[in-house]
Amino acid sequence: MPKKTLFRRALLRHAELSLAVAFGLAALPAQAQNAYPSKPLRIVVPFSPGGGINILSRTIGQRLGDQRKVSVVVDNRPGASGNIGTDIAAKSPPDGYTLLMTANTIIMTPSLIKTTPYDAVKDFMPVSMLAIGSLVLVTRPNLGIKTAKGLLEYAQANPGKLNYGLPGNGTPHHLAMELLKQRAGVDIVHVPYKGSGGLVSDVIGGQVDVAFLPIHQAMPHVKTGKIVMLAAGGAHRTAVTPDVPSLEEALNICDIDVDMWYGFYLPAGAPKPVAAKLNAEVNAILRQPEVGAALTAVGLQPGGSTPEQLAARTGSDLARWAKVVQQAKLSAD
């Protein structure tokens, strides 16, 4: 066989091998995505252990691990109003193996703390909404007010006479009351506490007139008559107390959604197929009856979403709460 023919065949064979290698390498990311997750997952929770969000993280984390046969580690990183853990998640490798589970404080904090180290929109890829944690409007029993409308009328007739308690400046409870004050046009004096324990005791004891409390925290005292519940939920009634009107119903005031929400995020730049896979699995988990029962027991209403719905909620609430903070001139502790 002529040398030129042999040389041409050698070149052709080399080209075929090169193409095969190239196609093989190109297929690796898809194979890796199909195998996801192939190593342990980490769920960063930017709050201390305990409370509804930790039950939420462990409930979902355990089932994700069981389904995918990998371990899931819940990594509590509290501090700086959630900034420490949130920043850790934002700066983690965007490979789909570190997730952030957080409350809507992720979009409240940037308006309260100007040195917030993350951008709630640019630094994260939304995965899914997880649950709603309703705040309820309560009063001390000896105030003699039984309805939210009655409270509003009293506050309008007696500006500055009522006080409200909150478990810390810049908390969702604080922003909720300031939103109510702005929408209703009333003057109620705020009394900050260091945590919820003393606040609840002083509502029961009659030192605090009114407060917003998480529904699971208020319900035991409502049942015994030590606290009066005036409204439950912001825009909509909560399934935990279906017979109690929401703030919007009770006061006929629009755009007064004070409820807390919880969501799952990935660091920005994570593979979109991974986010889609996580979204599908998390939403399936939230539909399980035993998961619904576990979350309802701590006052959470399970409810998933698409990534696009969480992205829209993140952006709209970021702007909404920024206006409340600016108008009330608030800051976090």
**Amino acid identity of 165?**
G
C-beta separation of 52 from 299 below 8 A = yes
Q: Which residue has the higher pLDDT, 171 or 9?
A: 171
Closest by Cα among 117, 106, 134 to 214:
134
Contacts of range 222-227, beta carbons closer than 8 Å, 24 or more positions apart:
222/138, 225/141, 226/141, 227/138, 227/139, 227/140, 227/141, 227/200, 227/203
| Residue-by-residue DSSP string for 245-258 | PPHHHHHT-SS---
Question: pLDDT tier at 1 (50, 70, 90 boundaries)?
Answer: low
176 pLDDT higher than 90: yes
Q: Which one-letter amino acid corresponds to residue 261?
A: W
Instruction: Please report the pLDDT score of residue 51 as a whole number.
Output: 79
CA distances from 292 to 31, 55, 127, 176 (A): 34, 12, 19, 26
Of the ranges 76-80, 188-192, 264-268, the best mean pLDDT one: 264-268
| Model pLDDT, residue 13 | 47
Does residue 248 or residue 35 have the better pLDDT? 248
pTM of the model: 0.85
pLDDT at 224: 96
pLDDT of residue 36: 86
- Residues 190, 212: Cα–Cα separation, whole Å: 12
Mean pLDDT (the chain) is 88
155 in Cβ contact with 117 (< 8 Å): no
Taking alpha carbons only, the member of 279, 290, 238, 265 closest to residue 45 is: 265
Could you give the CA distance from residue 148 to residue 245 in angstroms, rounded to a whole number? 9
Which of 2-16, 23-37, 47-61 shows the lowest per-residue confidence on average (mean pLDDT)?
2-16
The pLDDT value recorded for residue 240 is 84
In the prediction, which pLDDT does 26 show? Answer: 36
